[in-house]
Amino acid sequence: MAVKTKFSLKGAIRDSYLELVTAFPLASIKSDEHLQEAQKVMDRLLAQGELDDGEEMYLDALSDLAAAYEDEHYAIGPASDADMLRHLMEAKGVTQAQLRRDTMISKSTISEVLAGKKPFSRQMIRKFADYFNVDVSVLAGNF
């Protein structure tokens, strides 16, 4: 039974998309081996450089299937406040002393956060978000 939609593939776009689907069908990924094969297909497409619309559409769909499998089987929890602060400091190239001077947050508080002994407070989140030029949601993930 054919279903009519406003969305359709035509011409070369249809040909490239169907060629890829025939070679590696789009289906829910059920194993690590299947994921590895999907990754090889995605790597080959990405190595091509510029893709036509059909190839882009296929790559998007296969990437979504791979991400769904990875989210279910290899979920990564949120970073700790200590890890997040350490990462932001390294990325900006600042020391604890510089961070203290620039944010007016005490050295002991920064040290306790970095040691994992103290979580971010709302005040710290606002100051660090402004200082590192990130959205507060980046730092409030564990709040």
Same structural domain for residues 58 and 112? no
Same structural domain for residues 20 and 67? yes
Same structural domain for residues 60 and 19? yes
Tens-digit pLDDT profile for residues 107-135: 999 999 999 999 999 999 999 999 999 99
Q: Out of 25-29, 66-70, 135-139, pick the least confident.
A: 135-139
In CATH, what number is assigned to the domain containing residue 93? 1.10.260.40
Same structural domain for residues 24 and 61? yes
Tens-digit pLDDT profile for residues 79-108: 899 999 999 999 999 999 999 999 999 999
Supply the pLDDT for residue 14: 82
pTM given for the model: 0.57
- Find the domain containing 40 and state its range: 11-73
| Per-residue tokens: 131 | 């200082």
Supply the pLDDT for residue 5: 60
Judge whether 88 and 99 are in contact, CB under 8 Å.
no
Q: Return all residues near 17 (Cβ < 8 A) that are at least 6 apart.
A: 9, 54, 55, 57, 58
